[in-house]
Structure 1
């Protein structure tokens, strides 16, 4: 590793990110539909014919086929190479941020702490893609990301320079358990489900990767982001709903025959956690110092 420059590892991380993005495309499509992630193997979404492995190469496969399926020559959704490219860029960004950014791409990456941070950032950044895509549309968080985050955090904690295995385990237990307790209390007070268990497992994974402090900071920032987005979003939705109610003559009869959907127009909490986590992993301490100086006036 001593003679391998940073730019080379950035290319490697881009390739790894694109491969992970290809798998995440499978998660985003299959998991909400209850289809196994393993069986059947990769197949054409139109004619169901199995796709050869050489056509399954991330980004390259789509370009090779000119955006069409190999078997029936129908247009293939452009979201596949876009998702793979995005994850590739996020993979490279994980190492680039862990190495302290900078313009010297010829420097080697030697510190074990850098590799531990790069692995954690890789998981946090790339995991945001399926969490945001699946949770926003289907109100689900893949266990491969939430529970997988707990496993990944415990494994990464073995690498010297990052958090210790004890801190990782404590972070998972306290972050997940604390959010579960908070959700349970809110459910009792509001008389309806206030927190999904997927959010609990996701924050537990972040606790394993970041420790207790990082997970708490992530939860607070995610809550603030949620308020900033949901308040104006709710006002817009309510205004649109009132407009429809005023113009619909038969709306009363229709509402009597259909159950009210409480989740209509609501944005799940998972995406806010997924966005806040990598930000707080990188700049949590700096942002906390700025906040304390602002509050305490130092």
Structure 2
């Protein structure tokens, strides 16, 4: 138990640092800019961010949400992304009994946060993030399968990724207005990380994306912010579906099984 908490603590600290980098990714990748050069700087006065102000969450608090030089307001989203990524990484570390699978799911969580925010901002899922994640996740899942001597899990991931990719491809061909090609490209990653855990997780995570999209769509209409034809970015729902399934697939399946076979 102590070891699990230490791993979660380390993962959380790593997540804070990754979250700081993700803020750079979310801002620069849609603009076609390098994520490493130039270093972090103020967009108004071009002053470089000092090392002590680059500390996740703490830096924003020390600066009181403003540039140290020109006092340009810094969005509260920056520390929130850092904090949320740290908490997410810690939660994922606590979710799994073995560290073998952690690299794959931490990678997906980090890229998922970036993709969700970019999709919300500019309605895009950049190839620069999605495409390289295929070989990275395949290698990380293969490493986990080798470590645990569970090659069927890897085969299941490949099959699940192909099946979900094929399903999304059919959807976008049949109804192009309802989904984008970026969602199709992301679906293979989603299917892979879900199916690696189990078919049960795969089905729940894939369905959860559409359920979350429907719930948010209804909420948007009830709030008067849109209508039935209002387009919502679907990437965040796909990623949210994965996270929901990773943490809750077993209890959801148990609950559903109880509904189908009630005991009297």
- When the two structures are superposed, what TM-score results if normalisation uses the length of structure 2? 0.79
Q: Provide Cα deviations, 1:153-172, integer angstroms capped at 9, x if missing partner.
A: 531441323853x6436524
Residue 185 (structure 2) aligns with: 201
The number of residues matched between the two structures is 257
- The answer to whether the 8 A contact 1:58-1:81 is kept is yes
Matches within 5 A, 1:112-191: 113-143=97-127, 146-150=130-134, 151-159=136-144, 160-161=147-148, 164=151, 167-168=153-154, 171-172=157-158, 174-190=159-175
Distance in 2 (alpha carbons) for counterparts of 1:265 and 1:193? 11
Deviates most, 275-284 or 229-238:
229-238
**TM-score (normalizing by structure 1):** 0.71
Which structure has greater helix proportion? 2
Q: Are the structure 2 counterparts of residues 85 and 157 from structure 1 closer, same or farther at C-alpha, using a change threshold of 3 Å?
A: same
Aligned partner of 2:209 among 214, 217, 222: 222
The 3 A distance-change label for structure 1 pair 286 and 157 is: farther
Superposed CA RMSD: 3.2
Distance 1:153 1:58, change over 3 A: farther
Conservation of the 8 A alpha-carbon contact between 1:175 and 1:207: yes
The aligned counterpart of 1:37 is 35
Check conservation: 2:191, 2:206, Cα contact below 8 A.
no
Partner of 1:280: 245
SS in 1 for 2:22: helix
Would you say the 8 A contact 1:149–1:209 is kept in 2?
A: no
Q: How does 1:213-252 map to 2 (within 5 A)?
A: 213=199, 214-231=201-218, 233-234=220-221
Contact 1:154 1:208 in 2 (8 A): no
Where do 5+ consecutive residues of structure 1 fail to align?
Answer: 99-112, 242-261
User: Hey, what's the Cα distance between the residues in 2 that align with 1:169 and 1:139?
Assistant: 32
- Give 1:24's match in structure 2, choosing from 14, 22, 25: 22
The Cα of 1:216 is off from its aligned counterpart by: 3.8
Match of 2:9 in 1: 11
Structure 1's consecutive aligned runs of 4 or more residues displaced over 6 angstroms after TM superposition are none
Q: Which moved more, 1:23-32 or 1:140-149?
A: 140-149
For 2:153 and 2:218, the matched residues in 1 are separated by 36
2:195 is matched with 211
Could you say which residue in structure 2 is the equivalent of 1:266? 231
Residues 171, 204 of structure 1: 8 Å contact kept: no
Gaps of 5+ in 2: none
Q: State whether residues 190 and 239 of structure 2, in contact with CA within 8 Å, keep that contact through their aligned partners in structure 1.
A: no
CA 1:282 to 1:15, structure 2 compared with 1: closer, same or farther past 3 Å?
A: same
Provide closer, same or farther for how the CA distance between residues 184 and 12 of structure 1 changes in structure 2, counting only shifts above 3 A. Answer: closer
Q: By how many angstroms is 1:22 displaced? A: 0.6
Q: Which residue of 1 aligns with 2:68?
A: 70
**Based on CA coordinates, which of the two structures has the bigger radius of gyration?**
1
Q: How much does 1:17 deviate?
A: 0.4
What is the deviation of 1:83? Answer: 1.5
